[in-house]
């Protein structure tokens, strides 16, 4: 079990350098926020389109297959199960759905006088509306349950994969530099922008350490060949509580070591020890990405708004 390879959440892909790596981190951050905000009050067509765009961006950027195959596969599998479970689940209305017209109509007028035969309706008007899309045995799929299933499954994929794709193609120093650049107007409100970005940098650097500690503790439990059936539920719970306690101790020790390393190097405050990692400058590819972003929002407003 290697979490750092099988579950690369929040890890930066250094090689190969794709065109997504070369975009300005501020532009990529605005794109990420657009993916996360256009989902609000959008119809299902737009939600599915966001999923397709994320998958196409992964393929067009030529990210190695070993990086995205397992993670995207697990995520798509999760979203598929969410879609199926919510589609067959009760829609929450608690109503017994009945047809609008009775099955057998009774003639209340004089049968001797036949009413005039109405003209046949056009083919487009002969389509019958059905709220229940599928009903066979215990499985019932309604329009509301299917709509909810598409909403939740696409939301899970969009939120997780768009964020991971941004972290995969953007170094932590670039992320913090972009956030600090975009937060410059907040300095007028006397907010500690530099301290916030420094904390964010350390947090992003700490993610691989957390995964490494979890991996080491799980391996230590597996190598002891514990008989879980003999321990029972209470014994297994005690063991995992000890593992969680040990994990917390190791993480606090790592944080203390990181703080000691910064103090040894004479770090006193972010303002006095600022290191300019990246020179943020918009290039032609960045302006092209901004133009595509404008078109993206135009399409969202045109066809993606929920009626």
DSSP line for 226-263: --HHHHHHHHHHHHHHHHHHHHHHHHHHHHHHHHHHHH
How many structural domains compose the chain?
2
Of the candidates 16, 3, 152, 19, the one whose C-alpha atom is nearest the C-alpha of residue 91 is 152
Higher pLDDT, 175 or 4: 175
Is the residue at 117 inside a domain? no
The torsion region of residue 141 among left (phi > 0), alpha (psi -120 to 50) and beta comes to beta
pLDDT for position 249: 87
Contact residues for 248 (Cβ-Cβ < 8 A; gap 6+):
none
Higher pLDDT, 280 or 182: 182
d(CA 1, CA 95): 48
pLDDT for position 107: 46
In the numeric block, which tokens belong to residue 258?
Answer: 């990181």
Same domain, 8 and 155: yes
pLDDT tens sequence across 3-55? 555 555 557 777 788 888 888 888 999 999 999 998 888 888 899 999 999 99
pTM value > 0.75: no
d(CA 272, CA 37): 36
Cβ atoms 197, 186 nearer than 8 A: no
d(CA 130, CA 95): 14
Same domain, 294 and 269: no
Same domain, 307 and 245: no
The torsion region of residue 137 among left (phi > 0), alpha (psi -120 to 50) and beta comes to left
Same domain, 152 and 70: yes
Same domain, 68 and 198: no
d(CA 175, CA 10): 12
For residue 250, pLDDT beyond 80: yes
Same domain, 77 and 143: yes
Is the residue at 67 inside a domain? yes
d(CA 154, CA 157): 5
3-state helix, strand, coil in the chain (%, to 5): 65, 5, 30
Same domain, 38 and 148: yes
Is the residue at 179 inside a domain? no
Residue 197, classed as helix, strand or coil, is: helix
Q: Name the average pLDDT for the chain.
A: 78
For residue 294, pLDDT beyond 90: yes
Same domain, 223 and 307: no
Confidence of residue 157 (pLDDT cuts 50, 70, 90): very high
Q: For 106-132, what is the mean pLDDT?
A: 56
Domain of 289? 1-93+133-170+279-307
d(CA 249, CA 243): 10
pLDDT tens sequence across 53-77? 999 998 888 888 877 777 788 888 8
């Amino acid at each position: 079990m290697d979490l750092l390879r099988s579950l690369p959440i929040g890890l930066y892909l250094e090689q190969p350098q794709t065109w997504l790596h070369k975009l300005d981190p501020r532009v990529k951050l605005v794109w990420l926020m657009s993916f996360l905000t256009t989902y609000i009050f959008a119809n299902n067509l737009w939600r599915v389109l966001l999923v397709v765009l994320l998958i196409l961006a992964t393929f067009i950027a030529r990210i190695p297959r070993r990086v995205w195959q397992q993670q995207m596969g697990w995520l798509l599998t999760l979203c598929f199960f969410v879609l199926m479970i919510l589609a067959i689940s009760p829609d929450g209305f608690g109503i017994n759905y009945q047809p609008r017209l009775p099955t057998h109509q009774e003639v209340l007028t004089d049968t001797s006088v036949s009413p005039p035969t109405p003209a046949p309706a056009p083919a487009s008007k002969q389509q019958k509306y059905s709220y229940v899309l599928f009903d066979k045995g215990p499985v019932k799929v309604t329009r509301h349950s299917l709509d909810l299933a598409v909403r939740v499954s696409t939301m899970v994929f969009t939120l997780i994969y768009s964020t991971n794709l941004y972290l995969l193609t953007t170094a932590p120093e670039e992320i913090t530099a972009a956030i600090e650049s975009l937060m410059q107007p907040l300095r007028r409100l006397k907010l500690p922008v530099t301290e916030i970005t420094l904390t964010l940098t350390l947090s992003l650097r700490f993610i691989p350490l957390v995964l490494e500690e979890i991996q080491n503790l799980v391996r230590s439990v597996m190598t002891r060949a514990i008989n879980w059936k003999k321990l029972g539920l209470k014994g297994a719970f005690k063991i995992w509580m000890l593992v969680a306690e040990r994990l917390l101790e190791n993480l606090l020790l790592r944080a203390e070591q990181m703080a000691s390393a910064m103090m040894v190097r004479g770090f006193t405050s972010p303002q006095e020890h600022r290191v300019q990692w990246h020179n943020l400058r918009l290039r032609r590819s960045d302006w092209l990405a901004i133009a595509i972003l404008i078109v993206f929002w135009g399409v969202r407003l045109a066809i993606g708004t929920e009626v």
